Amino acid sequence: MKLRKKVYMVAGYNTISMGGGRKEFHPKKARPGLEEYMKEAGQSVLKQIGGAKNVDECVAGNFIASRYNKQANLAGFFPFIDEGLKFKPCIRVEGACGTGALALATGVKSILAETADVVLAIGVEVQNSVKAVYGADILAAAGWAKDRKNGHAHFFPGKFSDRAGIYYEKFGYDKTRKAMATWFKNAVENARLCPTAQEHHNSVEDLMALGMMKPNPKSFVEHLNVFDCSKVSDGASAIAIVSEEGLKKCGIPLSEAVEVVGFGMAENDITKPPADPTKLETTAAAAKKALEMANITKDQLATVECHDCFTIAGIMSIEAIGFAEHGKGTDFVSEGHTARTGKIPFNTTGGLVGWGHPTGATGVHQAVTIWEQLTGKTGDAQINIPADKPYGLSINMGGDDKTLVSIVYKKTV
Q: How many residues does the chain have?
A: 413
pLDDT averaged over 10-residue windows placed end to end, the chain, 413 residues:
92 98 92 96 98 98 97 98 98 98 98 98 97 89 90 89 98 98 98 98 96 93 96 97 98 97 98 97 98 98 98 98 98 98 98 98 98 97 97 98 98 95
Cβ atoms of 337 and 101 closer than 8 Å? no
Per-residue pLDDT, 314: 98
Per-residue pLDDT, 98: 98
> For residue 9, which of 372, 371, 379, 394 has the smallest C-alpha distance?
371
Per-residue pLDDT, 148: 86
Domain ranges of the chain: 7-131+232-256, 144-230+262-411
Per-residue pLDDT, 213: 95
Cβ atoms of 380 and 234 closer than 8 Å? no
Q: What is the DSSP letter of 179?
A: H
Average pLDDT over the chain, rounded to an integer: 97
Per-residue pLDDT, 177: 98
d(CA 346, CA 190): 10
Express each pLDDT in 204-245 by its tens digit. 999 999 999 999 999 899 999 999 999 999 999 999 999 999
CATH superfamily of 144-230+262-411: Thiolase/Chalcone synthase (3.40.47.10)
CATH superfamily of 7-131+232-256: Thiolase/Chalcone synthase (3.40.47.10)
